[in-house]
Structure 1
């Protein structure tokens, strides 16, 4: 079986010996949470920030997942950045009028309405997400440095860097979802879905935060750029998931499998061709837990365009080492992922979704799911 060299044994594993990761995102689904756990990581904190969804909706989504998998007692939940560093709703739309609007505007869209209320969930409201991130990195810097997964805007990480500049040097590294390059032709010739998936909304919503974060002196930066657009749903993977559950009715009528039902419905499994979005954040979460998935990568110098009166405001630029700017524009060092083992990614997907996580916080053990 293709994944037997990657899948972890379901024998007892203990949290104390796990690698560490802190997740900041603007919304959360099951795979973004479970891939790192399945790969042997301890999630030392999750912060939910403004971006594709509002901060309150991000927190609500994350809270529901943690409760469903009985992970709330060992994975603390925090409120991250509620707005970009400089970008506002007004400036976002002014730039769109001047230089063209993306298909997806996230929580900046005029039609956006919150799905959750603050009273719908609990979280660690005494500690801001940026402070929680700093505390986690400082706690483990000498024993088991924390990797940071910034899957939405990078505002929370930028806030943390402004408070504690040593964050980059003391963390294990940074993984980001975003960083598309060479997408202009696709944007000019594609339909609305193709334009959408080639638009770098995570960087566009807060270019300044992204530039601060990507040019900090991390030990490594892993950029989940273009390759994530090719990790997509298919009827085959939905059929595998439904078959593993014993039928769609089982998924629909089993509370524990609620995130699996959401995963399938959000993937538009009955109409793949016209609506399905790639597994963006999930793909990066998988390579955190399973770096052997990576087939091809390229080391680059990188920077984000932060000139407001530029049509490329909020877009990533990359250079080879010998051609990168040496003054004027600050650059960082990144590893751009070009390809992963897609078949193994999907095999892992099925295993992760049908693992029982409900004893994990108390025992450090996971088991095959059986209802």
Structure 2
């Protein structure tokens, strides 16, 4: 599972574990914050539930091309992007109040943001995220599914590093691929614009394109539908009916009113039958830096698709109640290393 981990990012891996996934490892990537901070969050949230048998591997620090300055220059021409994670300017005031780092020095660690507790352990140093992905799919050809809920930099680097990587994986499930929401940006609230901003693709458009053009046997995009599953106060209250360290963190620190983006994708990853409506499309990503839709997903019918585009399953609807139930039970009754039959 590849993600830009943070304090409440335990819910996706707990949801996957609850769904019976054999979780071979977590990999970290720059997204909402810088990769070193994300990697430590992954280690810390595993430690909360005695899950340190699951290894964490550090991934790419920077997107393939994008930088803070490059993103700012694009917005001057084409308009503001409501959320760009680590590529936002540095905000020392927010960090002092417990926010994860953005902008500035990407190596700095803000301990004030570790509401789950600063970890005693560290990511594995035997290899990095990209090599771990390549080595794992090579060891278990056709058996390893990849979940990614952050920018696709690690996956793209694996694709470019090993020409067999994508074809050896069982599948890839991607939290991303929001379709065009221009009207929301025009007449919706700023909150609406943020919810439907395709951050994972916009931070690293080139990586998204490389990934979607690769020869994975199956590509599943869990895009717009993730914005339909909301962490309401009522849901947080339900989760906290069972008291443990994870439910307390979820209750106190998950942003109420926000979608369960990564968690919904994890539910689809663990149990594809939660999808109640899906379609097959050909997909690509706009990587023209001068384009107003730079980083946006493009979808086509087969006859109209560009030559290098790939077929993908696009999730249109999910059984919201089942998804919420999977997330709730995963957090309320978390697996631990003692209950798992795998791990280092």
Give the structure 2 partner of residue 161 of structure 1: 159
Give the structure 1 partner of residue 317 of structure 2: 339
The reply on whether 1:185 has 2:164 as its aligned counterpart is no
Match of 2:284 among 303, 318, 329: 303
Which deviates the most, 120-129 or 79-88? 120-129
The reply on whether 1:281 has 2:259 as its aligned counterpart is no
| Count of matched residue positions in the alignment of Structure 1 and Structure 2 | 319
For the 8 Å contact 2:44–2:119, the answer to whether it is kept is: no
Could you tell me how far 1:235 is from its partner in structure 2?
2.8
Could you tell me how far 1:259 is from its partner in structure 2?
2.8
Give the structure 2 partner of residue 24 of structure 1: 2
Give the structure 1 partner of residue 202 of structure 2: 204
Match of 1:36 among 1, 5, 16: 16
Q: TM-score, normalised by structure 2?
A: 0.88
Q: Deviations over 1:180-215 (max 9, x none)?
A: 113111111111110101111101111111100011
For the 8 Å contact 1:56–1:116, the answer to whether it is kept is: no
| Alignment of structure 1 residues 145-294 onto 2, 5 Å | 145-242=143-240, 244-245=241-242, 251=243, 257-269=244-256, 276-294=257-275
Q: Distance in 2 between matches of 1:258 and 1:133?
A: 30
For the 8 Å contact 1:84–1:205, the answer to whether it is kept is: yes
Q: Deviations over 1:209-233 (max 9, x none)?
A: 1100011011110001111111111
Q: Deviations over 1:6-63 (max 9, x none)?
A: xxxxxxxxxxxxxxxxx11111512211111111111111111111111121112111
Q: Equivalent residue of 1:41, what SS?
A: coil
The reply on whether 1:86 has 2:65 as its aligned counterpart is yes
Q: Distance in 2 between matches of 1:305 and 1:39?
A: 34
Could you tell me how far 1:363 is from its partner in structure 2?
5.2
Instruction: Output the aligned Cα RMSD.
Output: 1.9
- Higher gyration radius (CA): 1
Q: Equivalent residue of 1:42, what SS?
A: coil
Q: Distance in 2 between matches of 1:356 and 1:221?
A: 28
For the 8 Å contact 1:60–1:116, the answer to whether it is kept is: no
For the 8 Å contact 1:70–1:361, the answer to whether it is kept is: no
Q: Equivalent residue of 1:263, what SS?
A: helix
For the 8 Å contact 1:303–1:317, the answer to whether it is kept is: yes
Q: Distance in 1 between matches of 2:129 and 2:254?
A: 29
Structure 1: segments with no counterpart, 5+ residues: 1-22, 246-250, 252-256, 270-275, 365-371
Could you tell me how far 1:345 is from its partner in structure 2?
1.2
Match of 2:36 among 31, 56, 61: 56
Give the structure 2 partner of residue 351 of structure 1: 329
Q: TM-score, normalised by structure 1?
A: 0.82
Q: Distance in 1 between matches of 2:310 and 2:251?
A: 37
